[in-house]
Structure 1
Amino acid sequence: MMRHLVMFRRLPDVPAQPELEAELVERMRLLPQRIDFIRGWHVAANELDRPICWDYLLDSSFDDAESVARYLPHPAHQALVQDLKQYFEWVAVDYTA
């Protein structure tokens, strides 16, 4: 099993837009409906206001590294990435569980 973790936060030079942010997060939550080989998917919002914290976490799982490699260029994922990058920055960690 390969885990794919991503943390998101609003870009520092982008003003907060709560409606847009909510729409982007909802699209993240619904992505497994468009990619059938995702095995696990959880999007959570940060609950504590600390400078070290990012805004959201995506905790996902795939069968193996090859599945992650298929997911990254998937058209549904790439369409979302194009919109996310206008509002969020992110970091990721991929590891075998």
Structure 2
Amino acid sequence: MLMRHIVLFRRKSDVTKDAVLEKALTERMASLGAEIPVIQGWKFAANELSRPICWDYVLETEVADAEALDQYLFHPLHQALVADLKPYFEWAAVDYTT
């Protein structure tokens, strides 16, 4: 069994879209999975349809267990990315065992 960590991201409603910044942030999100050893699976994708219910991006991470998830969440590279994401994006997460 694995623990799956799903996160949905969308630009904050009070933040003006900045295509250059958004591209830089999403490129960092897309590549982070290769930089943290406990990550066993990593999928990052942009929403493809324009519907009000949809968020802008989804990140699916797989790790061995809750302990490995904590190692990922508190890893310095992840923490640095989170600090940079906070002013631009809001997010919602779900963690579950597969």
Please give the range of the TM-score, normalised by the shorter of the 2 chains.
over 0.9
Looking at structure 2, the residues matched to 76 and 16 of structure 1 have their Cα atoms a distance apart, in angstroms, of 25
- Structure-2-length-normalised TM-score: 0.96
1:50 is matched with which residue? Answer: 51
1:39 is matched with which residue? Answer: 40
- The amino acid that maps onto 1:26 is E
Looking at structure 2, the residues matched to 33 and 49 of structure 1 have their Cα atoms a distance apart, in angstroms, of 30
Looking at structure 1, the residues matched to 30 and 48 of structure 2 have their Cα atoms a distance apart, in angstroms, of 17
Please say if residues 38 and 71 of structure 2, whose CA atoms lie closer than 8 Å, have aligned partners that are also in contact: no
Percent identity of paired positions between Structure 1 and Structure 2: 59
Looking at structure 2, the residues matched to 42 and 70 of structure 1 have their Cα atoms a distance apart, in angstroms, of 18
1:33 deviates by: 2.6
1:77 is matched with which residue? Answer: 78
In angstroms, what is the RMSD of aligned CA positions?
Answer: 0.6
Query: 4+ residue stretches of structure 1 with deviation over 2 A?
Result: none
Looking at structure 1, the residues matched to 30 and 45 of structure 2 have their Cα atoms a distance apart, in angstroms, of 9
**Which structure 2 segments of 5+ residues have no match?**
none
